[in-house]
Amino acid sequence: MNNLLEVNNVSKYFGDFKALNNVSVSIPKGSIFGLLGPNGAGKTTLIRIVNQITMPDAGSVVLDGEALSQKHIMDIGYLPEERGLYKSMKVGEQAIYLAQLKGLSKAEAKKRLKYWFERLEIGDWWNKKIQELSKGMAQKIQFVVTVLHEPKLLIFDEPFSGFDPINANLIKDEILRLRENGATVIFSTHRMESVEELCDDIALIHKSNKILDGKLVDVKRQFKINTFEVGIRSNNQLELEKEISEKFSVSKANFKTLEDELKLNIKINPGENPNDLLNYLTQKGEVSHFVELIPSVNDIFIQAVNNS
């Protein structure tokens, strides 16, 4: 069993509206899985199905080799995008209550909370009411409550919203640490740079359908554009540019260098060896820059959504 979670051919309808159409995703154990998609694509519906908040109309969900059932509630920690806490309840009381709902005993919940509160340096909030805290502070408490029962599967929907860069970093480190300790993480966000930074695998959902999934590197390989960013020095740059343009499809590149070089994006045909290009270029001038252009998650996202 290498996959912690397997969603098999899940469909969900709301009246006539199809929220998910035959979607399957597999989430490897111990990975950080990016669940991406434009607004209204069906991500939240999928997450709610995994959390058993909504039931799928068709298909099945398997968690750690077992069909998803009520007892798995304590194996999952969920930080929804629409989140909040009871405003007039004290922080400590509330955290204990939420932990108890996840099956922890009161004493155990208290012990673990003390640990986490100390760790995040929020110990003196224990007796405050939520309405006295700022949004970021409340978010921290929500994060603690989500991970407190040490679930196998953590689901974070836009976990960094509302955090300043310092606290966002702190939470990011905590997520990475939780993964090291064996948790599997589903991570849904519109911030592509954090996907780039954190995720091992991704799936892209668009208009109720999964249009893309796999290891991030594989996806990138799939979206490879065979284009190289090149800087080359020559006595006659105009002449050289003309010459290269006749041989390859070329566009202007934009990057910073020390000298005034000819900067180009050069596309080669798939299957062609980049060395051939490099050899050709070295004959023409002094190559100061030669980098393969790797599509960013952002590019992949936009391209995939537009193509489908």
Partner 1 sequence: MNHLPLIIKREYLTKVKNKSFIIMTFLSPLIFITFIAVIAYLTQLNNDKVKVISVLDDSGLVRHVFKSTEHTAYNNLEGMSLNDAKALVQESEGYGLLYISKVSEGPIKSKNVTFYSEESPSITLISAIENKIQTELTLQNRIHEGIDVEKLEASKVQIEINQESFKGEKTSKVDSVVKLIFGGAAGYLLFMFIIIYGNMIMRSVIEEKTSRIIEVIISSVKPVQLMLGKIIGTSLAGISQFVIWIILGGVLMTVASFVLGVDLAQMQTPQQQMVEQAMATPEINSEIQNIVTAFFNLPLLNLITAFILFFICGYLLYSSLYAAIGAAVDNETDTQQFMLPILMPLVLAVYIGIFTVIEDPHGTVSTVFSFIPFTSPVVMLMRIPFGVPIWQQVVSLIILIGTFMFTVWFAAKIYRVGILMYGKKPSYKELIKWIKY
Single residue of 4, 41, 91, 98 touching partner 1 by CB under 8 A? 98
Nearest to 156 by CA among 198, 125, 117, 119: 198
Report in angstroms how near the CB of residue 109 gets to partner 1 at its nearest. Answer: 12
E strands within 119-200?
A: 153-157, 184-188
Restricting to residues 58-97, which ones interact with partner 1 according to CB under 8 A?
70-71, 73-74, 76, 78, 80, 82-89, 97
- Choose the binding region for partner 1 from 44-52, 112-120, 270-278, 287-295 (rule: CB under 8 A): 44-52
Q: Where are the alpha helices (DSSP H) in 184-273?
A: 192-198, 216-222, 237-247
How are beta strands 58-63 and 66-67 bridged, if at all?
antiparallel
Q: Is 115 in the site for partner 1 (CB under 8 A)?
A: no
Nearer to partner 1, 103 or 274 (CB): 103
Can you say whether the dihedral through the CA atoms of 183, 187, 191, 195 is positive or negative? positive
Report in angstroms how near the CB of residue 13 gets to partner 1 at its nearest. Answer: 8
Helix (H) or strand (E) holding 110: helix 106-119
Q: What are phi and psi of 52, to 5 degrees?
A: 60, 25
CA–CA dist 61, 49 (Å, integer): 8
Q: Are 208 and 41 in contact (CB under 8 A)?
A: yes
Report in angstroms how near the CB of residue 143 gets to partner 1 at its nearest. Answer: 12
CB neighbours of residue 172 within 10 Å: 16
CA–CA dist 99, 90 (Å, integer): 14
- Choose the binding region for partner 1 from 46-54, 198-206, 213-221, 239-247 (rule: CB under 8 A): 46-54
DSSP single-letter state for residue 240? H
DSSP single-letter state for residue 136? H
Report in angstroms how near the CB of residue 294 gets to partner 1 at its nearest. Answer: 37
Residue 255 CA to its chain's centroid (Å): 27
Single residue of 102, 140, 152, 206 touching partner 1 by CB under 8 A? 102
Restricting to residues 11-30, which ones interact with partner 1 according to CB under 8 A?
14-15
Report in angstroms how near the CB of residue 85 gets to partner 1 at its nearest. Answer: 5
Restricting to residues 138-157, which ones interact with partner 1 according to CB under 8 A?
142, 145
CA–CA dist 147, 34 (Å, integer): 18
Report in angstroms how near the CB of residue 4 gets to partner 1 at its nearest. Answer: 17
How are beta strands 209-215 and 201-206 bridged, if at all?
antiparallel
- Choose the binding region for partner 1 from 47-55, 196-204, 263-271, 272-280 (rule: CB under 8 A): 47-55
Report in angstroms how near the CB of residue 129 gets to partner 1 at its nearest. Answer: 11
Nearer to partner 1, 85 or 264 (CB): 85
Nearer to partner 1, 130 or 204 (CB): 130
Q: Are 147 and 182 in contact (CB under 8 A)?
A: no
Report in angstroms how near the CB of residue 38 gets to partner 1 at its nearest. Answer: 19
Nearest to 207 by CA among 16, 60, 47, 37: 37
Report in angstroms how near the CB of residue 49 gets to partner 1 at its nearest. Answer: 11
The binding site for partner 1 (CB under 8 A) comprises 14-15, 48, 51-53, 70-71, 73-74, 76, 78, 80, 82-89, 97-98, 100-103, 142, 145
